[in-house]
Structure 1
Amino acid sequence: MDMQKNLIDRVAMGDIFRRKASTLPHLDAVVEFREGTRRCLSHRQFNESLNRVAHMLRSLGIQPGDRVALAGPNSIEFEQVIYRCMKGGFVVIPLNHLQGREDLVYTINHCSAKVVIVEDSLADKFDGIKSDLDSAEHWINMVVTGCSVSSHYLDFQTAINNASAEEVIDVVIKDRDPLQILYTSGTTSKPKGLETSHLALFMNTLAAIIELGVEPKMAGSSRYGLYVGVRN
């Protein structure tokens, strides 16, 4: 498929961040309050960080369509992984880290995740299932709380700091390509994976904008930055 034609015609969620970085570079994109401190990335900063995550994953041999499992409460780091997967054509699987060992092992093996990215506060829990995973080749630690982790983890922040911030525009993405798989809780049987495509999430987002009455002049305001949570 012609790359330039794909860039023009496609509905790809990751393109939103590239465009916002160009049109509204200095406005808030993502905001988090952590231990009383406001952390914020502008659209330009957030887009650059997403590019770094993509290049970091590529350096590990991760290709478009590969699965990336992600575990952690909401944080800026969590959002960087989610939205970078959208830009790079990777498929992200946000894990329910409150699930038990058996369901976590099943979920990661069922989706054939090649990368497992874990917040440091959950590292011990995931160390306990590492030997039972079939496809996981790389383990990455997101330092959020400062907990010590095993040496087999690649440090997330160090890895993205060493990666390029250049825009990634060489990935062909089709409207109905999956961008995430959400697993059910598995209360009556094994967890079941529900795929969401780029087009489906785009239409869901558009419906929310219409329902909330967001006007074009509001869309770039700090009021509509992504607030990812408060941590004490």
Structure 2
Amino acid sequence: MDRTLFQKIWSRDGWAGLPVHRSLLTPLSFLERTLHVFPEKIGIVDGDRRFTYREVGERVYRLASALRRAGVRKGDRVAVLSPNAAEVLEAHFGVPQIGAVLVAINVRLSPSEVAAIVRHSGARVLVADASLADTVASLRRDLDLSLVVWTGEGRSRDPAWGEIGYEGFLETGSPEPFAPDVDDEDQTITINYTSGTTGQPKGVMYTHRGAYLNALGEIVETGLQAESVYLWTLPMFHCNGWCFTWAVTAAGARHVVVPKVEPARVFELVEQEQVSHLCGAPTVLVMLQSELPSPGYRFPQPLRTVTAGAPPPPAVIERMEGLGAVITHVYGLTETYGPHTVCKWKAEWDGKAISARAALKARQGVGYVHAPELRVVDAQLNDVPADGETMGEIVMRGNNVMKGYFRDPDATAAAFAGGWFHSGDLGVMHPDGYVELRDRKKDVIISGGENISTVEVEKVLFFHPAVLEAAVIGVPDEKWGEVPKAFVTLRPGRSASEAEIVGYCREHLAHFKCPKKVEFGPLPKTSTGKTQKFKLREKEWAGQAKRIH
């Protein structure tokens, strides 16, 4: 591939018509720059496979041109159903290169849920991993798919059914670079379907501009550099991997891919590849803490660990930093390209005790450098007092907010009511301007007229030495309407009784906030590690009138 072409492909007529002081913002430009600067550098490590950025570029262009030859046109949707893999990274560049829209689907969904997403998005082409062949087979007859491209091993190909292997499909394309088919930076680049923790998933539309800016924000806020090595403990199908699919490439850093989180494998790769960055929900951090390679283990080099997905208990942060990790706490939603806020650290906090630092890092913080618009408001969109106590809804707008919900104008209008995106999350504004999440609107417990933050109770539970994970919900009560109940997963080899857990909470909380009941066992979770409290509520409130807050 001729490197000089990378400097020429951006000069086509559609872009040349822009003012000299402007260029269209698209993350596709990140790959071009990295190909120009680091062509021979290892860009992707996926098991035994190691690709230089030159090879990545060739494969991306082959994918893009092969899709075009297969009839995919600008604006068409291409669905991807696969665990983390080099092919999924390539799709993040190859699909939008021809102006098409990537739809990355959660691999843990049921066949009917996958079918609903493919049908709603209108995708005609599906790139699927062979390990999910049974899922695909069950939905093929119900969907109008013109082509299925199989990645991985062990799946027979049937050309009569429009099926082909990924490597064979790449051979039908050309490695020669060409200008991306992007003429509007507000053009949709991906559609990400919400996790479905509360109901029917909605298709969240990201733009080239938003993805570009969010990726730059990740570089700034998490310290990505060309020397960085990023381990994919976060699913790429989740908010396009919080846009790290594009950010790591933009930095010229190395992607190290794992299909799922297995602590032993994570520790092995951290050492072998000298991993500097990884992301994950607090549950991922809990998994790592509970399966250390050896007593007293510490990471061999500083490991920037970015966590989000649920408010991380200070105890989890404290234990992780005790292993030598540097925690960056971020917060956001699918509708905000993943992270929208970061608990921006201040040097004057360094001298505090580790427990105090962990409590500070548990706050959700301030808007990203490119997305500072963030407020905590009451029902009339008035700012609540910045006293760290008065709760309101967290709202945001600007560069980091979705374009809207695909084919759902009513839901889009409701989400954007009053000119701000409504997160549905309740929080407080501290005097220093840092936001702290207190609960989801639907999760707040109203017991005898008193509001109880489930997050506050969970933070206390996580400090109990026998508790590995915990979730708190409101359950029916004849006298108080509802009262807190804790669902607790104990650490391996540890034991605790209901009375012990309740007594521990009563030592640290007002008594009305403490769980009245405790149930031990594993917690139901989404594929990204979020506890599915709605499943716990459904069981506890079966046959009861639903709460209305």
User: Which residue of 1 is the match for residue 31 of structure 2?
Assistant: 17
User: Which residue of 1 is the match for residue 146 of structure 2?
Assistant: 137
Q: Higher mean Cα deviation, 57-66 or 98-107?
A: 98-107
- 4+ residue runs of structure 1 moved beyond 6 angstroms? none
Report SS of the residue matched to 1:70: strand
After TM superposition, give the deviation of residue 18 of structure 1 in Å. 1.8
Report SS of the residue matched to 2:148: strand
After TM superposition, give the deviation of residue 75 of structure 1 in Å. 0.8
Report SS of the residue matched to 2:51: strand
User: Which residue of 1 is the match for residue 62 of structure 2?
Assistant: 52
Note the residue ranges of structure 2 that are not aligned, 5 or more in a row: 1-11, 230-252, 266-549
After TM superposition, give the deviation of residue 72 of structure 1 in Å. 0.7
Candidates 144, 156, 171, aligned match of 1:149: 156
Candidates 78, 81, 101, aligned match of 2:111: 101
Query: What is the identity, as a one-letter code, of the residue corresponding to 1:132?
Result: D
Task: Tell me which structure has the larger Cα radius of gyration.
Answer: 2
Q: Given the superposition, is the C-alpha separation of residues 170 and 209 from structure 1 closer, same or farther in structure 2, using an over 3 Å criterion?
A: closer
Report SS of the residue matched to 2:124: strand
Encode CA deviations 1:185-218: one digit per residue, 9 max, x unaligned. Answer: 334332111111111111111111111234xxx4
User: Which residue of 2 is the match for residue 206 of structure 1?
Assistant: 216
Greater RCO between the two (CA within 8 Å, min separation 6)?
A: 1
Which structure 2 residues correspond to residues 174-189 of structure 1 after superposition, within 5 A? 174-189=184-199
Query: What is the identity, as a one-letter code, of the residue corresponding to 2:154?
Result: C
Report SS of the residue matched to 1:64: coil
Question: Is residue 227 of structure 1 aligned with residue 295 of structure 2?
Answer: no
After TM superposition, give the deviation of residue 111 of structure 1 in Å. 0.4
User: Which residue of 2 is the match for residue 5 of structure 1?
Assistant: 16
Contact 1:52–1:165 (8 Å) recurs in 2: yes
After TM superposition, give the deviation of residue 68 of structure 1 in Å. 0.3
Query: What is the identity, as a one-letter code, of the residue corresponding to 2:217?
Result: A
Percent identity for Structure 1 against Structure 2: 25
Q: Given the superposition, is the C-alpha separation of residues 225 and 173 from structure 1 closer, same or farther in structure 2, using an over 3 Å criterion?
A: farther
User: Which residue of 2 is the match for residue 163 of structure 1?
Assistant: 173
Q: Distance in 1 between matches of 2:103 and 2:17?
A: 25
Q: Higher mean Cα deviation, 179-188 or 197-206?
A: 179-188
Q: Distance in 2 between matches of 1:166 and 1:112?
A: 29
Q: Distance in 1 between matches of 2:17 and 2:256?
A: 31
Query: What is the identity, as a one-letter code, of the residue corresponding to 1:159?
Result: F
Report SS of the residue matched to 1:31: strand
Q: Given the superposition, is the C-alpha separation of residues 165 and 100 from structure 1 closer, same or farther in structure 2, using an over 3 Å criterion?
A: same
Note the residue ranges of structure 1 that are not aligned, 5 or more in a row: none
Aligned length: 221
User: Which residue of 2 is the match for residue 90 of structure 1?
Assistant: 100
Contact 1:14–1:83 (8 Å) recurs in 2: yes
Contact 1:179–1:197 (8 Å) recurs in 2: yes
Q: Distance in 2 between matches of 1:159 and 1:50?
A: 12
After TM superposition, give the deviation of residue 101 of structure 1 in Å. 2.2
Q: Distance in 2 between matches of 1:182 and 1:156?
A: 23
Report SS of the residue matched to 1:129: helix
After TM superposition, give the deviation of residue 161 of structure 1 in Å. 2.1
Encode CA deviations 1:47-80: one digit per residue, 9 max, x unaligned. Answer: 1110000010001110121100000111112211
Q: Distance in 2 between matches of 1:173 and 1:27?
A: 30
Encode CA deviations 1:25-66: one digit per residue, 9 max, x unaligned. Answer: 11122222x2xx3x2211111111100000100011101211
Give me the TM-score of the superposition, normalised by structure 2.
0.38
Question: Is residue 173 of structure 1 aligned with residue 183 of structure 2?
Answer: yes
Report SS of the residue matched to 2:54: helix
Q: Distance in 1 between matches of 2:68 and 2:44?
A: 24
Question: Is residue 28 of structure 1 aligned with residue 42 of structure 2?
Answer: yes
After TM superposition, give the deviation of residue 230 of structure 1 in Å. 6.0
Give me the TM-score of the superposition, normalised by structure 1.
0.87
Report SS of the residue matched to 1:9: coil
Q: Distance in 2 between matches of 1:5 and 1:102?
A: 46
Q: Given the superposition, is the C-alpha separation of residues 173 and 40 from structure 1 closer, same or farther in structure 2, using an over 3 Å criterion?
A: farther
User: Which residue of 2 is the match for residue 110 of structure 1?
Assistant: 120
